[in-house]
Amino acid sequence: MGRGIVILDKLARSALRSQKIPQINHPLTCEIHFKRQRSTSGTKSKEIREMLSQLPLFAGGEIVRGFGRGSKELGIPTANFPLEVVKSLPESLPTGAYYGWANVDNGPVHKMVLSVGWNPFYNNKEKSVETHMLHDFNCDLYGQILKICIVGYLRPERSFDSLEALIAAIRLDIEQAKAFLDEADKGKLKEAPFFSEKLISPK
C-alpha cells in the first residue's frame, strides 16, 4: 500500500459554498483549480507572485518518521510527509516557511506552520515537508493521515548562524501564522470539505 496520498487544489471561487474537493485513488494524482489571490506588492519577486497564484494548496498523506529534531532539539514537534507527497508538490513552489490549516485522521482542524525545503542549517540531502500544528498532541502520530491546507507564505528558506537563531525564527513564524489565520478569508478554509473526507490509498 502506498504511504503517500496527495491532493493539490486552488479552489474555485465558489468551491467552499457549492463544490466538494474530489477524492483520489493514486498518490501522485493532482486535481488543480484556479483561484486568484489579492494582487501582490511590486517588491515581491516573480517567483513569489507565481507561487501565491497557486494557493491554497491541499495535500494529505501518512505521517512518517523524520529526523527526530523537531521535539528534541527545537522543542517544536513536526509531522512529516513521505517522499511521494513531497515530490508531488508543484516544482514551482518555493522553499521556505508557510502557514495554513491541518488535521490528523479527520479530527479537529488546527492552525499550522510548514517548512518546505532542505533545511540548510542541517544540510539535508532530501527535500522535506514538515508540519508543526499549533496544538498539543499527547500521542504518537506515526501512521496516521495528515491533511494540510497551505494558505500563505511567510519567508524564504535560509540558513542560520545558530540553533537559537533558528528557533527564534520559527517562533516568529508561529506568531505571524496565528495572526494571519485569524483573518476571516483565511479562516473559511478551515471548513473545507477536504478535512472531513476520506483519502483513498492505493492497494
Q: What is the dihedral of CA 164, 131, 117, 198, to 10 degrees?
A: 180
Residues 6+ apart with CB under 8 A from 64: 3, 80, 81, 82, 142
List, in sequence order, every beta strand (DSSP E) within the chain. 4-5, 57-62, 79-80, 96-104, 110-117, 128-133, 145-156
Q: What is the C-alpha to C-alpha distance for residues 115 and 127, in angstroms, rounded to an integer?
A: 10
Of the residues 130, 157, 164, 175, which is catalytic?
Answer: 130
Coil, strand or helix: which one is 15? helix
Q: Which residue has the cell 483565511?
A: 186
Q: Tell me whether residue 197 is one of the annotated catalytic residues.
A: no
Residues annotated as catalytic are: 130
